[in-house]
Structure 1
Amino acid sequence: MVLVYGHRGAMGYAPENTIPSFRLALEMGVDGVELDVHMTRDGEVVVIHDFTVDRTTNGHGYVKDLALSEVRRLRVKHGFGGKWGPVGVPTLEEVFREFGGRTRFKIEIKRGGDYYPGIERKVVDLIRRYGVNAQVVSFDFDAIRTVRELDPNIETGIIFIGRIRWFLDIARKLRVRWLHVSQDLVDPEGIEEAHRSGFLVGVWTVNDGEVARRLVSMGVDDITTNYPDIIIKAIRGA
């Protein structure tokens, strides 16, 4: 079965990377939720996409320059009117505490220890503490290497923009399980070669049902989407 992940929750319908967004994605029947993490000045792992808080909240500045107490005072900006009320930026621990064993998690570390010293260990420790079904992924291959060194039992994947075959060697060296590729650059030959090499293929960000069905026919193993209900209905008839 092709897994469906809610991109930052169900960000087509709710404020991205927030508790309400993850909750809505689960209500829609996703297999898992995808989220992004950065680290505050005082070493707390928070769930937010950008390096700064400017786009998604009513605050300003880099996440790394803010203390958790400052992040907690922020409110997420969104275009959904008053439907969701005031929504805050959650910590990764709060997300695990809220949803725990109810779903899978795809955790994207936006930048590794060269920028956020120790972030990989903090993420690994939280995964262990809460016993969640989690996959750690990143464009930062050094971050994935560090996660693998800390705990080779945690599922890992690399994210990239390019053809699958270009990244097979690095995937072998990193000993990851997943290759996450943009829907624009995925091809049947690449998927087949990845599978022959023992990798699974995830595709992002897919918001069209017809495209999703085509990708399933090509053999992808997971799809990440802003609109989980649309994709689930398209590929499962739910």
Structure 2
Amino acid sequence: MATMISRKLKTAVRVTLLLCWIGLNPGMTVAQEAGVVMPQRGLCAHRGCMDTHPENTLPAFREAIRLGAQMIEFDIQLTRDSILVLMHDETVDRTTNGHGRVGDLTFAEIRKLDAGGKKARDFVGTAIPTFEETLAMMPRNVWLNCHLKGDEAVGRAAAAMVARSGRMHQAFLTCGEKAARGARAEVPNILICNGENRYRTNTPLYADETIRMNARFIQLLRATPGEDRKEVMEKLRQNNVTINYYYAKSADELAGLFAEGVDFILVNNLAEFGVEAAKLGIPAWQPKF
């Protein structure tokens, strides 16, 4: 009897240690989510449904999920006390009732701000969310385009949060080279979208540098008049780089962009663009939680 209890205790200890190891090993997160089917192409809700909802807030993301976005994009910064929050601008002035640089404000100060009232009365009292809160409310089968504002520090913090939240299979960090190095130093197999601004307007160089740094995603800017991207698109495809596009201004652009080889197109008006995407054989995505 004592021997049997001892064996059970040893087995329990081994299982516990294995589960702890899986939780601490970012690479295993991908394996744990191997059964999740991710979209191959579609629409990316830019800052959520920012046309009808306050950008970079949970209500905007809930609406994007409801409308069937295949990808959701949002912006991340560090507060003065190193909390990851969602905000596009360097300051909180444009979208909230407050003033000041995000990096100069504490989380407690930022949390008191109203991030919805400037959009519409229905959103008065909407808080600026943390990155952790945002990850927690997202489906597990939608791409999360996490646009970092900052360098190594925000890269390290964001990568650690993605790994800790079990979102390694779906969340990627759109960032410059410095932030990418910080992220990979923290979590070597974190998914990266090359967002280095030094050369983003030079599409061939941008593509080459993306491939060189082994980034999984690229986010092309709007093409200049007469620009031929056929060769660049083929090179990206051959190197298994997922192609995001910033951004479509009207729904009638979608057909040409998808035909050109773009995988995901950032849009501000998801409801309108979703109707056109459905006509092109890309229906609203069904979220899985």
Report the CA distance between 1:98 and its aligned residue.
2.1
Compute the TM-score of the two structures, normalised by the length of structure 2: 0.75
- What amino acid maps onto 2:174 in structure 1? V
Distance, in Å, in 2 between the alignment partners of 1:180 and 1:191 is 12
- What amino acid maps onto 2:77 in structure 1? H
Distance, in Å, in 2 between the alignment partners of 1:164 and 1:198 is 17
Q: Which region of structure 1 is more displaced relative to structure 2, 51-60 or 100-109?
A: 100-109
Say whether 1:141 aligns with 2:177: yes
- What amino acid maps onto 2:75 in structure 1? D
Residue number in structure 2 paired with 1:205 = 247
- Pair 1:230–1:152, CA change in 2 (3 A): farther
Report the CA distance between 1:197 and its aligned residue.
3.4
Say whether 1:61 aligns with 2:97: no
Q: Which region of structure 1 is more displaced relative to structure 2, 97-106 or 7-16?
A: 97-106
Say whether 1:16 aligns with 2:51: no
- Pair 1:16–1:102, CA change in 2 (3 A): same
- Pair 1:102–1:171, CA change in 2 (3 A): closer
Contact 1:101–1:131 at 8 Å: present in 2 too?
Answer: no
Residue number in structure 2 paired with 1:231 = 273
Compute the TM-score of the two structures, normalised by the length of structure 1: 0.90
Residue number in structure 1 paired with 2:163 = 128
Report the CA distance between 1:78 and its aligned residue.
5.6
- What amino acid maps onto 1:135 in structure 2? F
Contact 1:100–1:130 at 8 Å: present in 2 too?
Answer: no
Report the CA distance between 1:79 and its aligned residue.
5.2
Of Structure 1 and Structure 2, which has the larger fraction of its residues in strand? 1
CA deviations 1:189-228 (Å, max 9, x no partner) are 3212221333221101224111111100111111111112
Say whether 1:4 aligns with 2:10: no
- Pair 1:197–1:103, CA change in 2 (3 A): closer
Secondary structure of 1:83's counterpart equals: helix
- What amino acid maps onto 2:161 in structure 1? L
Secondary structure of 1:35's counterpart equals: strand
Contact 1:207–1:227 at 8 Å: present in 2 too?
Answer: no
Contact 2:95–2:118 at 8 Å: present in 1 too?
Answer: no
Distance, in Å, in 2 between the alignment partners of 1:190 and 1:78 is 43
Report the CA distance between 1:158 and its aligned residue.
1.2
Residue number in structure 2 paired with 1:217 = 259
Report the CA distance between 1:55 and its aligned residue.
1.1
Distance, in Å, in 2 between the alignment partners of 1:137 and 1:168 is 14
Contact 1:58–1:75 at 8 Å: present in 2 too?
Answer: yes
- What amino acid maps onto 2:83 in structure 1? E
Q: Which region of structure 1 is more displaced relative to structure 2, 72-81 or 15-24?
A: 72-81
Distance, in Å, in 1 between the alignment partners of 2:223 and 2:189 is 31
Find the partner of 1:70 among 109, 124, 129: 109
Instruction: Supply the RMSD in Å over aligned alpha carbons.
Output: 1.9
Instruction: State the identity %.
Output: 27
Q: Which region of structure 1 is more displaced relative to structure 2, 27-36 or 162-171?
A: 162-171
Q: What is the total number of aligned residue pairs between the two structures? A: 233
Residue number in structure 2 paired with 1:169 = 208
Contact 1:208–1:230 at 8 Å: present in 2 too?
Answer: no
CA deviations 1:59-78 (Å, max 9, x no partner) are 11111110100000011156
Report the CA distance between 1:151 and its aligned residue.
2.2
Distance, in Å, in 2 between the alignment partners of 1:19 and 1:60 is 21
Residue number in structure 1 paired with 2:71 = 32
Distance, in Å, in 2 between the alignment partners of 1:208 and 1:188 is 22
Contact 2:117–2:123 at 8 Å: present in 1 too?
Answer: no
Contact 2:41–2:70 at 8 Å: present in 1 too?
Answer: no
Contact 2:172–2:193 at 8 Å: present in 1 too?
Answer: yes
Secondary structure of 1:192's counterpart equals: helix
Distance, in Å, in 2 between the alignment partners of 1:24 and 1:183 is 26
